[in-house]
Structure 1
Amino acid sequence: HSFGGVVSSLAPLSIGVPLIILPRFQPAAFLATIQKHNIAVRVPWPSGFFIFVTEEGMAEYDLSSLRNILLGAAPVSTELILDTGEKLRKRGAKDLEITQAFRLTEITYVINILQVRSRIGSIGILLPNQEARLVDEDENDVNEGERGELWIRGDNIMKGYLHNEEATRNAITPDGWFKRGNIATRDSEDFYAIADRKKELIKRGKAFPPAELEALLISHPDVADSGVIDIFLSPKRQSSQEFTMRQSEIPSPSISFL
C-alpha cells in the first residue's frame, strides 16, 4: 500500500519523527500507546476511529496530545466526526483536527487534504495536473451535487496490474481514466466527498449507499455506531440489514425516528 508504506511509515522517519507500530490492534493497548508516547498524529482506518467513541475505558487515558486524525479507506459520517472531535477536545485535545482523505495505491494521492479542515466530510480538491469526472451508470457526467462514480486521470496513474490484463482493462479506460467504483459528489467550489463504493450500493427501487443509512442511524442520540449490509433475497430482490451499537447503559432505541 502506497499510503501505509510511504506516508505512514517512511515520511515520518525521513524527518526524524518517531513511529510507533503495534504488533496487533487492541483497543486498550491502542489508547495506552497514545498516552505513553504523547502521539500527535494518528492515521486509523474507520473501525479504529470508532474506538474513540465506543471504548468504555477511554476516560482512563490521557489523549490530549492528539493534534490530527487522518481518516481514509471508507466513508465516515460527518455526524460521527463532529461528535468524536467534540468528545476528544473536551478531554484535552484542544488543537485536534480530523480530516478525511482519498487514497489508493493505484493512483497515489489525487486530493489535497490540507484544504479540508473547515469542511468536515469533504476529501478536498484536486491536486494540480489531475482530472476527475463523476459519471452515472451510462458513463455520462452527472450534475453538481449529484452522486457519480469517481474517475481520475493523470500521470500518477499506474500502468496496470501485473500479469492481469483483464483487471487492468476493467480499471483503466482506453483514454486513461482510472475507475475503482468509488461513489462521490462535487460541490460548487469543486470540493469532493466520498459517499460509498459502487459495489456496495443497495438497489431497492433506486440505488443508495449503505453509508447514507448508517449516517441516519448514527444521528439517533442512543446509537454509538451502525453498520448496513446488503442482502440478496433472489436475483431480482435485494434488501438490507442494519446493525447498531447502543450507547452504554441505555435502553434499546426505537426505530420510529426513521
Structure 2
Amino acid sequence: MQRSWLAHYPAGVPAEVDIGQYPSVVALIEESFQKYRNDKAYILMDKALTYGEIDRLSRDLAAYLQGLGLKKGDRVAIMMPNVLQYPVAVAAVMRPGFIVVNVNPLYTPRELEHQLKDSGAQAIIILENFATTLEQVIRQTPLKHVVVASIGDLLGFPKGAMVNLVLRRVRKAVPAWSLPGAVKFNAAVAAGRHKPLDRPEIGPDDVAVLQYTGGTTGVSKGATLLHRTIISNLLASEAWMRPGMTRKPTEGQLTFICALPLYHVFAFITCGLLAMRTGGVNVLIPNPRDIPGTVKEIAKYKFHIMPGVNTLFNALANNAEFAKLDFSQLRIANGGGTAVQEAVARKWLAVTGCPIVEGYGLSETSSGIACNPTDNDAYTGTIGLPLPNVDIRLLDDDGNDVPLGQPGEIAIKGPQVMSGYWQRPDETEKVMTPDGYFKSGDVGIMDARGFVKIVDRKKDMILVSGFNVYPTEIEDVAMNHPGVAECAVVGVPDKNSGEAVMMFVVKKDPTLTKEALADFCLKNLTGYKKPKYIEFRTDLPRTNVGKVLRRELRDEVLKTMDKPAA
C-alpha cells in the first residue's frame, strides 16, 4: 500500500514530522516552561498555575525524589485524577530521568497491587482520597516512598484549607488511611527546595512512561513508551490540529477543556502535553460524571479545544445549560476512546456549531495514530487518515495485506508505537509482525483515499466509555466466588457507554443471586469493569475442544436486541 492517504491530507500537514528536534519530553516541556513562563498552564477551581510555577514546583519535587536515592530509570507511580499536582508530578518524575507509571485512581486494591508489582515502582505520588486503597496492599509491593497529596494543596490559603475541610468532613470523600512514613505533597516540595537536582542525560531511547493496558490473558501490561515515542505522537498531533485551529481567527490563550482523565493516554497526550507544547491552558475537570458541575466550570471560559468520548459528548449535548454556553471560540472537538455515534455527532454539531473530529489510538501507540481532518465540517463515520509518521496496513489472518475495501486487522508501524510490553517479551511477540507492525486487534476497512472505518474487533476486548475491559480478567474475578461454577463475559451495545459488560454464569450454589455476584465483582474490579448485566445459564456453548464460545453468546444477545418489540 503506497500511503494513498497522503494525497488527501489537509493543506500544510506534512507526511513526516521531525522527531529529532527534541532529545526527550523533558527538553520539550522545559522549553515551554521558559517560553510561556508567565502564562497560565493549568486551572482547577479558578486557581491557575503558570508555566513558571510548574517549572519551580516540579524542580523542587524532583530534587526531593532524587534525594530519596532514586536513580535514572526507577519507576514512580502517579495515582491522581485531574488535579493541579498531576502535571507537577509528571514533570518532577521525568526531569531526573525517572519513569512515570500512570495509575487509575479508581483501581481496587487487587488491580493496584498488580500494577505496582509489575512495574517495580519504588515511589508513588497519590491523592489522599485513594490512600486507603494503597494502605491495603503496600506491604505486598516494592514501594519504599509515598507522597500524599490533598486537592487543596496548591489552591492557596484559605481556599485550599476550606476545600480540604469540606472534602474530608462534610462530603466524607477521604476515607481514613494510615501509611507510616508517608510525606505530604507540600512538605516534599518544601524539602526539595534547597536541594540540588542532578540532571542526567536523557535520550530519545530512554523510557518515559509505562502506560498500563489490559491483556487478553487478564493480566494488565505496561506499554513501554520511550521519549521519542511520545515526542513523535505529540508533534504529529500538533501538525494535525493546525488546519482546524487556523480556519477561523481565535482569541486569547489557547484553552483546552480537560475532562478526560490525565492518567489515560488520550488525555495525557492530547490535553496534558499538547497544551504545554503549544502554550495552552488546561481547564481541569476532576469529575466529568457530574455534568451540571462540569457545565458550570467550563461556562467560565471561551474554550478552543475539547477532547472527549461519546458518552461525554452525548451527556453535554443533551444538557440544557450546556446549550447556552458561548461556543464562538470552539475549533476542535476531538472524539476518541470509542466510536462516536452519528446521532451524538449530529446533536453536538447542532448545539455547538463545531463538528466532532473522530480519531483512533491505543496505549500501545501512545494515543492517536489516525484522525479525521480537523477542518472537517461533518461526521464521517470513520477514524480518518493515518497521522504523520504513521504507516497502516490491513492484514488477513495469515499476515497478508488485504485489498482496499476489504476488512483486515489494523496493523500500525511508526515511531509512535511502543517499544514493547514492560518486561514481557512473550506478550510483545504476540502483537508484533516480523517486520515491526503492531497488530491492534481491531478490524477495519480502508477506502481509496486512505480513510479507515472500524467494522469489528478481532480480540474480545470491550470498550466501556473509552476504557479497555478484558473479559478474562472479569471471569477470573468471578470464578473466585464460591457460588460460581463457570462463567463467560462479553460486550454488548449500550446507548450510554458504547458497550457494557454482560456475564453469563453457571451456578455452583443454587442460592447465588445476581446482586450478590455483582457486589463481589465491584469489590475486586474498577466500577466500569463491573458486569452491568448478569444472566444465569445451565451451561455455556463450547467448541469441540471445550473452549467457551463468547461470540456465540454475544450473537444471541444481539439477535434479541434486534427483534422488534411485540
TM-score normalised by length of structure 1? 0.71
Q: Does 1:70 align with 2:334?
A: yes
Of the candidates 399, 409, 416, which is equivalent to residue 156 of structure 1?
416
Distance in 2 (CA, whole Å) between partners of 1:139 and 1:58 is: 51
User: Residue in 1 aligned with 2:293?
Assistant: 29
Distance in 2 (CA, whole Å) between partners of 1:169 and 1:142 is: 22
> Where is the helix percentage greater, Structure 1 or Structure 2?
2
TM-fit CA distance, 1:201: 8.1
Of the candidates 357, 369, 379, which is equivalent to residue 110 of structure 1?
369
Distance in 1 (CA, whole Å) between partners of 2:444 and 2:394 is: 7
Distance in 2 (CA, whole Å) between partners of 1:138 and 1:22 is: 45
Of the candidates 355, 373, 380, which is equivalent to residue 97 of structure 1?
355
What is the identity, as a one-letter code, of the residue corresponding to 1:47?
Answer: T
Secondary structure, counterpart of 2:282 in structure 1 = coil
C-alpha distance 105-116 of structure 1, shift in aligned 2 (>3 A) = farther
Asked if the contact 1:200–1:230 (Cα under 8 Å) also holds between the matched residues in 2, the reply is no
Asked if the contact 2:445–2:453 (Cα under 8 Å) also holds between the matched residues in 1, the reply is yes
Secondary structure, counterpart of 1:43 in structure 2 = strand
Q: Does 1:8 align with 2:275?
A: no
Distance in 2 (CA, whole Å) between partners of 1:112 and 1:227 is: 22
Distance in 2 (CA, whole Å) between partners of 1:132 and 1:46 is: 25
Give the alignment of 1:102-141 within 5 angstroms: 102-108=360-366, 109-114=368-373, 117-118=376-377, 120-141=380-401
Structure with the greater alpha carbon radius of gyration: 2
Q: Deviations over 1:108-155 (max 9, x none)?
A: 343254367156222222234432211233434333223321001123
Secondary structure, counterpart of 1:101 in structure 2 = strand
Secondary structure, counterpart of 1:145 in structure 2 = coil
Asked if the contact 1:153–1:176 (Cα under 8 Å) also holds between the matched residues in 2, the reply is yes
Asked if the contact 2:421–2:428 (Cα under 8 Å) also holds between the matched residues in 1, the reply is yes
Of the candidates 5, 17, 20, which is equivalent to residue 283 of structure 2?
20
TM-fit CA distance, 1:24: 1.8
Asked if the contact 1:135–1:149 (Cα under 8 Å) also holds between the matched residues in 2, the reply is yes
Give the alignment of 1:52-91 within 5 angstroms: 52-55=316-319, 57-58=320-321, 61-65=324-328, 66-86=330-350, 88=351
TM-fit CA distance, 1:238: 1.8
Distance in 2 (CA, whole Å) between partners of 1:60 and 1:180 is: 37
User: Residue in 1 aligned with 2:564?
Assistant: 256
Q: Deviations over 1:133-185 (max 9, x none)?
A: 11233434333223321001123322211111122112212221101212222
Bigger CA drift: 156-165 or 140-149? Answer: 140-149
Distance in 2 (CA, whole Å) between partners of 1:189 and 1:175 is: 24
What is the identity, as a one-letter code, of the residue corresponding to 2:270?
Answer: V
Asked if the contact 2:338–2:498 (Cα under 8 Å) also holds between the matched residues in 1, the reply is no
Q: Deviations over 1:20-66 (max 9, x none)?
A: 112222111122222122223211122212213444x4467425343
Distance in 2 (CA, whole Å) between partners of 1:83 and 1:201 is: 28
Secondary structure, counterpart of 1:150 in structure 2 = strand
Of the candidates 431, 438, 441, which is equivalent to residue 181 of structure 1?
441
What is the identity, as a one-letter code, of the residue corresponding to 2:441?
Answer: G
C-alpha distance 177-31 of structure 1, shift in aligned 2 (>3 A) = same
TM-score normalised by length of structure 2? 0.35
Asked if the contact 2:395–2:401 (Cα under 8 Å) also holds between the matched residues in 1, the reply is yes
User: Residue in 2 aligned with 1:238?
Assistant: 553
> Where is the strand percentage greater, Structure 1 or Structure 2?
1
Distance in 1 (CA, whole Å) between partners of 2:455 and 2:313 is: 18
Q: Does 1:41 align with 2:332?
A: no
Root-mean-square deviation (CA), in Å? 3.4
Query: Which 5+ residue runs of structure 1 have no aligned equivalent?
Result: 203-209, 219-223, 243-253
C-alpha distance 115-39 of structure 1, shift in aligned 2 (>3 A) = closer
Identical pairs, percent: 25
Q: Does 1:51 align with 2:321?
A: no
Secondary structure, counterpart of 2:300 in structure 1 = helix
TM-fit CA distance, 1:231: 6.0
C-alpha distance 226-7 of structure 1, shift in aligned 2 (>3 A) = closer
Count of aligned pairs: 224
Secondary structure, counterpart of 2:411 in structure 1 = strand
What is the identity, as a one-letter code, of the residue corresponding to 2:341?
Answer: S
